[in-house]
Structure 1
Amino acid sequence: MADTPQFFSQELDGERVERPLVGDERLMLTSFLDWHRDTFRLKCAGLTAEQLSTRSVDPSALSLHGILRHLAGTERWWFRMQFAGEDVEHLYYADDDPNMDFDRLDGDPAEALAVWEAECARSREIVAAADSLDAVGTHRVSAKPIALRRILVHMLCEYARHNGHADLLRERIDGKTGH
């Protein structure tokens, strides 16, 4: 087995990080998470602000803009607040308005995209700085230790779920499909 990972990629009218066929656990988890992040970015690519904010699958109130806000907040919550213990505010959440990420689409989707990209970049920095996937933060709700490995697996699930939503929303907006 070679030291250099072997890769394959799939195109979706744009570039996505390649997913390794060989590599250690950190490489696998982070590569697949970045692939899902790129997939979501591509689902939003080329749309107007109005289209990104369209709630196109009745009766759901989901929109790509809302999912974008939700994913930015999720990146911050898991990596910065819980794992790294950073004292930062929630982005699109309040105890009296817990669904504001999806429900309130105030603001420019381009700004939400920039916030999401910054949160993803900070998440990558946090993961890269961790000594191992066994490193722990403190789960803010239960006050129990939480491993970086568990957070990465959770984020893979989170993105996979919302990329499925994004597939349906995008197809209803302009017919574009892809994997």
Structure 2
Amino acid sequence: MQRGSIPGGSGSVRPLRLYGDPGLHSPSREAAEEPLAALVEDMFATMYAHHGVGLAAPQIGVPLRLFVYDCPDDEDRRHLGHVLNPRLTSTGGVTVRGPEGCLSLPGLEAATARHDLAVVEGHRVDGTPVRVEGTGYFARCLQHEVDHLDGLLYTDRTTRGRRRRVLRAARRAHWAGATELPPGAWA
């Protein structure tokens, strides 16, 4: 991403993988030294096209440990960036049960318990080390995206009853049975 450019401005919107796609339930592999700037641009373009605040590479069918974010915290401060090969190095604070949704389960959400503080360490695609600390809603976003890279969805962290209700709604959703949501087909 060039300094001063709009993230995703030169990217292409890719189809989103939806609940039921086996790639969403598989751990992602570490990314080696490879050119990934175009992928990051595509991920931002896709995230913005679907009105998300975060997007992990497996959600567009790329099994790499990479996610992008443009997410506010509880004080409405904007956090914008990407992390390659992230590790959730610390969580803390109180555990907050709050509404959580996912672009791979469009239009659905459930109360999910997350820590109020999260720290992720990794690299930018240019190799620069990065440490991202988030609180509140942004901490939830960081934990959610790292979960995607480990093959987990927020439904894996909800209570059994909430999970059952969300998955029942997913079976009735207009996108049920599809494994991907094409560009422009916002739910």
Query: Normalised by the size of structure 2, how large is the TM-score?
Result: 0.25
Which structure shows the higher strand fraction? Answer: 2
Determine which structure has the larger helix proportion and give its number. Answer: 1
TM normalised by structure 1 equals 0.26
**Which entry has the higher C-alpha Rg, 1 or 2?**
1
